[in-house]
Structure 1
Amino acid sequence: MSEHRLTSIDLDPATLQSATAEIEHERRVAIFDLVEKNSFQPAGAAGGPYALKLAMVDGRLAFEITGPEFHRVHGLSLTPLNKVVKDYIAICDSYYEALRGTSPAQIEAVDMGRRGLHNEGAELLKARLDGKIAIDHETARRLFTLVTALYRRG
């Protein structure tokens, strides 16, 4: 397994708003999934593994990355992600609603839209991190899931 990977992720409770128990659970699951399998290579880092702390600083999502002989903080404006995150949350809500009583064809159609938005958000996030942190597509998807969970407040 590559040393260019995350081994822990912490959320700063002082700057990231708390949420309902259900959304806090979504955040924990997103963190678990991301730590379980990822490719994460900060620019200028010789090797990991890395710890990541996420916080909100001056309206930006701050990525505080530490590793062996490495420490850096990157700020990421979430404004370019706002629309796709809101659309993704809305379609996820529609998907869960569809699971409660619509036809399999309708569920499949909503799920295809949900997956498409998830991929779009992941690619946008990957592009926003370009030059700062190299991540693969699957890591971008998992990180987008976490970012989306951070948006949700319940």
Structure 2
Amino acid sequence: MSDKAPPEKRNRLVAVTLDETSIGRGNPDQEHERAIAIYDIVEENSFGVPEHDSGPYTLHLAIVDKKLAFEVKAADGSGCVTHYLSLTPFKRVIKDYELICDSYYKAIRSASPAQIEAIDMGRRGLHNEASELLVQRLEGKVDIDFDTARRLFTLIYALHWKG
């Protein structure tokens, strides 16, 4: 893609990968959620790197020395930038999200629709909180919209799955 492409064609992700050494394998529900998040991100996203107007981009997520690594490259594979984010601000919300997801997956097998809906509302609320935190933590480094942040949080959470 040329530098003359409009910003809406440049400021986006065309591929997202997760580091195989960092990733925890999840149960089938989790693996399905991960695949959907990657598909959804690639289909529709807003992602820009302020200091490198060389998009579209690819993103590789990994855990490196207990930090979240955002390795961003131009779609042609040329290097761009890697940002390392402390996971400390995410610890509480990831722990809470894990607990509510466990409750949700158990509930969908046996609970009433009203109980499932109540748990899912809590799950979505935590997901939103984590997404807002991600946007804040990336401010000045990577420009993303809220929907892209939600999908990225799903993948960040996937790096913590124990299976």
**Same fold per superposition (TM over 0.5):** yes
Aligned to 2:101: 92
> Which of residues 67, 70, 73 in structure 2 aligns to 1:63?
70
Equivalent residue letter for 1:87: D
Q: Which runs of 5+ in 1 are unaligned?
A: none
Question: How far apart are residue 29 of structure 1 and its match?
Answer: 2.9
Instruction: Indicate how the Cα distance of structure 1 residues 92 and 132 shifts in structure 2: closer, same or farther if over 3 A, else same.
Output: same
Question: What does 1:18-33 correspond to in 2, within 5 Å?
Answer: 18-20=24-26, 22=28, 23-33=30-40
Between 53-62 and 113-122, the greater mean CA deviation after superposition: 53-62
Question: How far apart are residue 28 of structure 1 and its match?
Answer: 3.0
Q: Which runs of 5+ in 2 are unaligned?
A: 1-7
Equivalent residue letter for 1:6: L
Q: Is 1:40 the counterpart of 2:44 in the alignment?
A: no
Equivalent residue letter for 1:80: P
Task: Report SS of the residue matched to 1:45.
Answer: coil
Q: Percent identity?
A: 54
Between 103-112 and 63-72, the greater mean CA deviation after superposition: 63-72
Task: Report SS of the residue matched to 1:117.
Answer: helix
> Which of residues 5, 9, 15 in structure 1 aligns to 2:16?
9
Query: TM-score by structure 2 length?
Result: 0.84
Q: Deviations over 1:70-91 (max 9, x none)?
A: 6111001111101111111211
Task: Report SS of the residue matched to 1:2.
Answer: helix
Task: Report SS of the residue matched to 1:151.
Answer: coil
Query: TM-score by structure 1 length?
Result: 0.88
